[in-house]
Amino acid sequence: QVQLVQSGAEVKKPGASVKVSCKASGYTFTGYYMHWVRQAPGQGLEWMGWINPNNGDTRYAQKFQGRVTMTRDTSIRTAYMELSSLRSDDTAVYYCARDPPHHGADVWGQGTTVTVSS
Amino acid sequence: DIVMTQSPDSLAVSLGERATINCKSSQSVLYNSNNKNYLAWYQQKPGQPPKLLIYWASTRESGVPDRFSGSGSGTDFTLTISSLQAEDVAVYYCQQYHTTPRTFGPGTKVDI
């Protein structure tokens, strides 16, 4: 079945970087954009950006420009989201989500909790 | 950026009763080329990722019960749960996918 499996929880110190992975299975990885969305504790959903796994094109939310990098490795059907210069307010659950054209995100990863604390 | 707002922030509905959630976008999300509204609704239960319920403002995702329906066009949209079930307790978000950044509404919490 179609599935996105994310890497495990991370604890980082302020100023560090974190790289979250999202492994796809059950569909053609290069056929769908992958979005990244985060959710701070008790808060709503915040869109971070997308990557086109077919050619590596990316688009980031202005808020994260310069701090976020989205990449992919098509040989292992995995997308990555790296966030640098972490601050305490980056503490959140980070989700990857598959996005069929003109559809909305129909498959989501289970989420990766990133805790930023000194 | 397109700003999404939702109302109410929360609502409590009796089992079997109707729940109505409103979503407004600061700009139209209607794509003129195909006359589709690029608006989705998601349901999120505690500890779970969001689940896509509705896309194109009114098309139910496969497997979503028909008590969930979406309506609206342009800038004003509604999600209706016709007969609330216990398993529908969740937070509901609208999202526009007309324009990048893909913005979400703040969410509406539905309780019994």
pLDDT tens digits, one per residue of A32-78: 999 999 999 999 999 999 999 999 999 999 999 999 999 999 999 99
Give the nearest partner residue to A111 out of B49, B51, B95, using CB atoms. Answer: B49
Instruction: Report the pLDDT averaged over residues B57-81.
Output: 97
pLDDT in tens, B76-94: 999 999 999 999 999 999 9
For residue A47, the model assigns a pLDDT of 97
Confidence at B50, pLDDT banded by 50, 70, 90: very high
The sign one gets for the Cα dihedral B86, B89, B112, B22 is negative
CB contact under 8 A, B55 and A35: no
Amino acid occupying residue A48: M
Beta carbons of B42 and B52 less than 8 angstroms apart: yes
For residue A101, the model assigns a pLDDT of 84
Chain A contacts of B103, Cβ < 8 Å? Answer: 47
How far apart CA B93 and CA B71 sit, in angstroms, is 14
The sign one gets for the Cα dihedral A32, A81, B60, B51 is positive
Query: Quick check: B51 pLDDT over 90?
Result: yes
Distance from CA of B54 to the nearest CA of A (A): 8
Chain B contacts of A52, Cβ < 8 Å? Answer: none
Q: Kindly identify which residue of chain B lies nearest to residue A43, measuring between CA atoms.
A: B106
Which of A101 and B66 is assigned the larger pLDDT? B66
CB contact under 8 A, A102 and B97: yes
